[in-house]
Amino acid sequence: MERIAVYPGTFDPITNGHVDVIERASQLFDKVIVVVSVNSKKETLFTDVERLEMAKESLKDLPNVEVESHHGLTVDFARSKNSVALIRGIRAISDFEYEFQIALMNRKLVPEITTIFLMPHERYTYLNSSIIRELSKYKQDVSEFVPPAVADKLKEKFGY
């Protein structure tokens, strides 16, 4: 039986911290499906299509990683893909409380899917998409924090 994990997120944009967690998950599972979540109530810098394309480009060298988008509950998507696990990245204690609540609700909804918390490398613990967007807005070089395709898209988006 193929062991499949799902790693959901908005990825607005995907960062090297996300990539690090995905690389770690790809070593633990036969297949990892990265799900670019689409939430009509959340305002994003990049469109659904742009976020999907950036994630695909950033992860193209990982043979057992696929990238898809999804509207709706992540656990429904994971169940439809016969996933055994949901991957969540935890950078700091402040992430844990929220992620723990979501994990417990997901377990209530779909008990057969386990939430796995993975920490990124310590050099990425302070990194998140909001910081990247803010730095880019002020035309700061973020190339050490994001994959090359994302750095290019940010430069294009903010005109620098």
| Catalytic residue flag (residue 91) | yes
Token pair, residue 34, equals 């990265």
Q: Which of 129, 133, 136, 153 is catalytic?
A: 129
Token pair, residue 138, equals 């002020």
**What single DSSP character describes residue 114?**
E
| Catalytic residue flag (residue 136) | no
Q: Are 110 and 128 in contact (CB under 8 A)?
A: no
Q: Which of 40, 42, 94, 108 is catalytic?
A: 42
Closest of 160, 125, 130, 132 to residue 146, by C-alpha: 132
* Helix, strand, coil fractions of the chain, as percent rounded to 5: 45, 20, 35
Q: Which of 24, 56, 81, 91 is catalytic?
A: 91
| Catalytic residue flag (residue 18) | yes
| Catalytic residue flag (residue 121) | no
The Cα 26–Cα 144 span in angstroms is 22
Q: Which of 18, 51, 88, 133 is catalytic?
A: 18
- Give how far the C-alpha of residue 111 lies from the chain's centroid of Cα atoms, to the nearest Å: 22
Q: List the catalytic residues.
A: 18, 42, 91, 129
